[in-house]
Amino acid sequence: MKTLKSLFDSNRIWAEQIEKEQPGFFEQLSKQQTPEYLWIGCADSRVPANEIINLPPGEVFVHRNIANVVVHTDLNCLSVIQYAVEVLKVKHIIVCGHYGCGGVAASLDDNDHGLIDNWLQHIRDVYRFHSAELDSIEDPTAKKERLCELNVIEQVGNVCATRTVRTAFKNGQNLNIHGWIYRLEDGLLQDLGVTVTGLE
């Protein structure tokens, strides 16, 4: 049986390194988590939440799926949001998309992608909401990049529309929803300037 020994080896080295720098780190962290951030991002292997914002275990609650979509009927995502807001009391929810997103690109072609086409339909909806703007962009790369941005902005709206977030806003809970985008080519984040801090 193949056991992926190399991964267990690197895990041990990683844990030892952290324990050396901060003795008792894991023991301490095992008792509770108090992250300030909920990260909703793409499942893409090149966009790992903690690494990008350089935060250690315990600092970010994370939900990832293909193309960072927040669907009103997705019990998985809704449960993550509820737990993060009501129990962990995170102060920030970050929806982070990325340029060069394969899911967004796939939503733009007519190929058969199998099951995932159902999921990508949510991004085709985003296109439809913004078709006037997107249709006017001739350059295919620019069009794709803009759809990546608009997808994030729409998902920020979807987060705000959840019962959990609306209730938190009504109760005056300190909660901010952000829309960010990441560029694979330089590893840098950009704030899309759509932060929501209450019922508006």
State yes or no: is 98 an active-site residue: yes
Beta strand spans in 80-186 (E): 92-98, 176-183
Q: Measured from the CB of residue 187, what is the shortest distance to Co ion in angstroms?
A: 15
Tell me which of 63, 77, 96, 101 is the catalytic residue.
101
- Distance from C-alpha of 163 to C-alpha of 50, rounded to nearest angstrom: 27
CA neighbours closer than 13 Å in the CB half-sphere of residue 145: 12
Q: Is 44 in the site for Co ion (CB under 5 A)?
A: yes
Q: Is 123 in the site for Co ion (CB under 5 A)?
A: no
Q: Is 145 in the site for Co ion (CB under 5 A)?
A: no
State yes or no: is 46 an active-site residue: yes
Question: Counting beta carbons within 10 angstroms of the beta carbon of residue 142, is it exposed (0 to 12), middle (13 to 18) or buried (19 or more)?
Answer: exposed
Determine which residue in the list 70, 101, 156, 181 makes contact with Co ion, applying CB under 5 A: 101
Helices 163-170 and 75-82 pack at an angle, to 10 degrees, of 20
Tell me which of 63, 98, 122, 178 is the catalytic residue.
98
State yes or no: is 160 an active-site residue: no
Determine which residue in the list 40, 42, 52, 120 makes contact with Co ion, applying CB under 5 A: 42
Q: Is 149 in the site for Co ion (CB under 5 A)?
A: no
Q: Give how many residues touch Co ion by CB under 5 A.
A: 3
State yes or no: is 101 an active-site residue: yes
Q: Is 152 in the site for Co ion (CB under 5 A)?
A: no
State yes or no: is 42 an active-site residue: yes
Query: What are phi and psi for residue 67, nearest 5 degrees?
Result: 70, 25
Residues 6+ apart with CB under 8 A from 161: 72
Q: Which residues are catalytic?
A: 42, 44, 46, 98, 101
Binding site for Co ion (CB under 5 A): 42, 44, 101
